Amino acid sequence: MEKKSVSVTLQHVTKRFKNTRGKADIIAVNDADFVIEAGELVTLLGPSGCGKTTTLRMIAGFELPTEGKIFIGSEDVTMLPPNKRDTATMFQSYGLFPHMSVFDNVAYGLKLRGLPVEEISRRVNETLVLVGLKDYGDRAPSKLSGGQQQRVALARSLIVTPSVLLLDEPLSNLDALLREQMRIEIRKIQKSLGITAIYVTHDRVEAMSLSDRVVVMKDGYVRQIGAPDEIYEAPDSRFVAGFVGKAEFFPVKVVSKDGGLWTCSLGNKTVQVAQAAPDVNVGDDAVVMARPESLRFEEKGKGYIDGVVRLNVYLGNSMESFVETSFGEVLVQLDDPRSKKVYREGEEVSIAFTPDRVRLLSKNED
Ligand code: ATP
């Protein structure tokens, strides 16, 4: 199954859909311009309608871009039909043939290519081992669980040894536990084959746990691209911050910048912040973005934001405290709560943070 992996390049790719009822065109994808490196697993993440599937379908060749170019490796594939591209797509619906055995379902693509029977048999068996279905070749798809059917679909995509594997919400029909197992398995298989993979999802946990890098999209635009920890810890906008995790935003005025440290006024307190998005400047009204686990409690009056604990939710390895403050409700997550002072519901507290665990963002909610 070894094959050289290739990169995928989108150059200023835009897709407009004509609106037939005299309304404005829909710009499903707007100037997408990025490179997926060979062997990477990149997720396209964003809310419904942001253009993820359209981007994937253009890479697969099911849709043609209105503008821009797509390269697989060094080959310009922009105008090539799907079967002339070295890609395989795995969709949300498994698309298995119900009247064929698992073996025949997996063999289908190779039979179409007219390969010798022995080679087909060898490759089908190898692929079934790879996806953990070694002894299931004779079964009918209807006699398999949802997760097993998903594995057959994966085997069917992999057997044609594509250079690029495209996955469109492949796990959304599975229950939560199975989804978790399958995504780890997909990741292991993708790594072991060294195949380039592009994965569409609106599930942030799936995106964060699977990917080398995440492309966050909104309204047809790519809003940020980065490794999961970069996107989580250093989002450049409130939208990305809130889409990839829980985030609190505190309104501040940016007063000065000295070395790497920004000084801001937050209510009547002065706070320091060690990181900022590129569009933040001294003098701006901005927000401090904090993840709930980056906040901590101090005695009343000793932190930056005073409030009253309204609800404590014990989660075993952490405790979530919902605190009523003059900035609205703030969620504070205390990891390993047994080692910390826990404030009871109704108690007055003060919320604080360290400069390197928070980030300044433009106050623009987009
Ligand atoms: P979802 O998570 O709901 O699948 P998505 O992020 O994959 O959403 P797309 O399916 O790419 O989004 O759709 C992007 C936009 O383009 C949407 O506004 C959608 O309605 C529109 N769109 C998609 N396909 C077509 C089409 N064939 N004709 C007209 N508009 C379309």
Confidence of residue 4 (pLDDT cuts 50, 70, 90): confident
Range 246-362: architecture per CATH: Beta Barrel (2.40)
Instruction: Tell me which residue has its CA closest to atom 18 in ligand 1.
Output: 49
Give the alpha-carbon dihedral of 303, 308, 310, 313, to 10 degrees. Answer: 30
Is residue 141's pLDDT more than 70?
Answer: yes
User: What percent of the chain stands above pLDDT 90?
Assistant: 74
Phi-psi category of 210—alpha, beta or left, where left has phi over 0 and alpha has psi -120 to 50?
alpha
Q: 209 CA to middle of ligand 1, Å?
A: 25
- In the β-sheet with 318-325, what is the strand arrangement from edge to edge? 295-298, 348-353, 305-314, 318-325, 328-335
Q: Quote the ipTM score.
A: 0.96
Is residue 299's pLDDT more than 70?
Answer: yes
Confidence of residue 132 (pLDDT cuts 50, 70, 90): confident
Confidence of residue 300 (pLDDT cuts 50, 70, 90): confident
Provide CB contacts within 8 A for 102, sequence distance 6+: 128, 133, 136, 137, 138, 139, 140, 141, 144, 152
Q: Is 49 in the pocket of ligand 1 (CB under 6 A)?
A: yes
Confidence of residue 1 (pLDDT cuts 50, 70, 90): low
Is residue 92's pLDDT more than 80?
Answer: no
Q: What are phi and psi of 20, to 5 degrees?
A: -80, -20
Is residue 25's pLDDT more than 70?
Answer: yes
Atom of ligand 1 minimally distant from the CA of 55: 11
Mean pLDDT of 127-149: 90
What are the sequence ranges of the domains in the chain? 8-233, 246-362
Choice from 18, 53, 58 to test ligand 1 binding pocket (greatest atom count within 8 A of CB): 53
Q: Is 54 in the pocket of ligand 1 (CB under 6 A)?
A: yes
Confidence of residue 260 (pLDDT cuts 50, 70, 90): confident
Mean pLDDT of 178-206: 91
Is residue 93's pLDDT more than 70?
Answer: no
Is the CATH number of domain 8-233 3.60.20.10?
no
Mean pLDDT of 150-164: 89
Is residue 91's pLDDT more than 60?
Answer: yes
pLDDT of residue 3: 65
Identify each DSSP E strand in 67-156 by its residue range. 67-72, 75-76, 87-90
Is residue 338's pLDDT more than 60?
Answer: yes
